[in-house]
Each structure stands twice: as structure tokens, then as C-alpha cells.
Amino acid sequence: MTVASKTAKVSISQAESLVKLVRLLATSGRSNFHNYLISPLLYASWKRDYSSESSHKMMVRIERQAEEHPNTIAPHAKRLVGQALTETPSAVGNASIFFLEMSIRYHQVSVAPETLEFVHVVEPPIRKFEAILTRKTSEDFEVKLADMTPEEIEAAFRPVELGRKEETVRLNQEARILFEKIKRANQKDDMPACRKLIANYLIRFADEDDNNRDQIEQLIDALEQRAASFRKELHDFMAIELFYRISQGIAKSDLKKTIQGIRKYAFIFEGDSGALYHKDIDRLEKKLYAMIREKGLMKQLIRSK
């Protein structure tokens, strides 16, 4: 799955996708991290001479000055990545994520030559890793599904039990807190925070009966008036986030989390074959239901809903 930018700009969806892939790359082993992120940067001569200022201190300084001097972020972020390359793999990962997240927050960073160069260097190898990861997660999912007991499968499909008053109160409180955060971000005109919070709200509560959906839709419409691409970027963010959660769940053998992620994706993007990662997650969903039919659990799962 490629999220490409057609203009001289790193798109928000492109940067979000790369952030999540760098995080997944970091958990896939030292060799992969070196091959698909560090080596390409070294080959492109991004490593700088040793500096007395650590990458962590550079990051803090860039963050502190960002609002007043957004045009300086990208050149400083390039030096940050160069410094991180003299330190540790985790420093390189943190610097890369910081650079990409700054391009999401600030338009000036998304169009800067340094940002375009950075993405030009790291995106091709990271997309190769993504293709390998997608194949591996599909194969691992099939193997791990076969080892699940009927009880474990039923537990993964079981909805949240709202019969207990305290559970209902907890969920309602959780929804209210997140909804208030969305409203505050909107008042501050913080579009990246609005997008992230609304996406997390919809992922968490989209399939609940009482989910303030009308109010959320009104807010999305209003945000779309201020930024025409908001709804598309919101949908992309949800797809990227769910792909990340599903991949994490399979890697950690947390199949309950994986199955819930697959079902959330199917609910949110039903009928939308153009959604990011649709083909990959649809393949996992087909494997899931093939296994359910094979174990003769379909009627049991329907009754438990």
C-alpha cells in the first residue's frame, strides 16, 4: 500500500503512514531497522560530524522554537537526523518520527526541500518493509488462528458487557472525556489534534449505539469547510491506525486485539474498496471467517452477539 504525494509536498496521510511504519519497523528487529532505515540514510550521506548537542536536546530546542520559527524546523530536523545517526538506532527512530510529525503539524515543513529529500530517501525502503510485513502478518495470522480455541474466538467477538452499571458509566465517561478533548482542539484550531482525536473516537465508539455521531459529523463538516481535505485525511488516519493496531496484535499474538481491529475496519469502511489497506485487511477478514466456518462456530457467534 503506497500513500504517495502527487505534488512537491509530503501529504499528511503519507507522513502518518510512514510514522506508523517506522514504529512497526522498530519492533521488527535490529537487522530490519538498520537495513530499511539507517542504511538508506547513511548511503544518502545524512550522517553529520559529531556534535556536543545530543539529538534529544536538539529535539527539545526545535520543539520550543517551532511556533515562532516554523520555516527553520526542516533544516534543523535534517541536522537532528544526522546527529541521531552518530548515536543509537532508537535515536534515529525518534528523530525520524519527530521530523515526519512536524511535517504533519506545519505546512512549511511539509513542502521544505529537506523534508522532501528525507522522504525521498526513506520511503522506498520502508515501503519494501511494508510489503514484507503485510505478507508475514497474513501468514502468521493464519497459523495463530488455527491454534485458537473456540472459547478464545468467542471472547474476541463478544461485545462489551454493558449489563453492569459501573461498566456503562465508565464507557459513557470515557466517551465524554474524549468528546470534550475534540471540542477543545477545535476551539484552538488545532487540525492535527482534531483529526487524531476524532479518528480515535470513531474507532473506539463507531459501533456503539449512543456515540454522538450526529455531533461528530457536524464537527467534521465544519472542519471540512476550513480544510477541504479534512474528511479524506481523517479516513486515511483511521485506516492507517487500524492497520497499525492489527499488525501489532498479530506480532504480539494478541489475536483478540487483532480480530477487534479487523471488525472495526470492516464496520467503518464497509463498501469502501478505495480505503487505505482495504485489500490487506480484507484478506485477513476472509481468513478469519474461513476459519470460523471450518470450526463450525458461525451459529454460535451469531447467537452471542
pLDDT at 152 over 50: yes
Largest alpha-carbon pair distance within the chain?
Answer: 65
Mean predicted lDDT score pLDDT of the chain:
87
Displacement of CA 129 from its chain's centroid (Å): 16
Average pLDDT over residues 93-120: 96
Nearest Cα to Cα of residue 22 among 100, 106, 138: 100
What pTM, to 2 d.p., does this model score?
0.88
**CB-side neighbour CA atoms (13 Å) of 222:** 13
User: Which pLDDT belongs to residue 182?
Assistant: 82
pLDDT band at residue 178 using 50, 70 and 90 as cut-offs: confident
> CA-to-CA distance for 95 and 88, rounded, in angstroms?
11
pLDDT band at residue 247 using 50, 70 and 90 as cut-offs: very high
Query: Would you say how long the chain is, in residues?
Result: 305
User: Which pLDDT belongs to residue 296?
Assistant: 75
Q: Which of 31-35, 176-180, 231-235, 267-271 has the highest average model confidence (pLDDT)?
A: 31-35
In percent, the amount of the chain with pLDDT more than 70 equals: 88
> CA-to-CA distance for 1 and 35, rounded, in angstroms?
20
Q: Outline where DSSP puts E strands in 169-275.
A: none
- Higher-confidence residue of 277 and 215: namely 277
**CA R_g for the chain:** 21
pLDDT at 209 over 50: yes
pLDDT band at residue 119 using 50, 70 and 90 as cut-offs: very high
Displacement of CA 242 from its chain's centroid (Å): 7
pLDDT at 68 over 70: yes
User: Is residue 111 within 8 Å of 70, Cβ to Cβ?
Assistant: no
Average pLDDT over residues 184-200: 85
> CA-to-CA distance for 217 and 201, rounded, in angstroms?
12
Average pLDDT over residues 265-285: 93
User: Is residue 249 within 8 Å of 261, Cβ to Cβ?
Assistant: yes
Spell out the residues 6+ positions from residue 193 whose beta carbon is closer than 8 angstroms to its own. 185
Region of poorest pLDDT, from 86-100, 172-186, 242-256, 257-271: 172-186
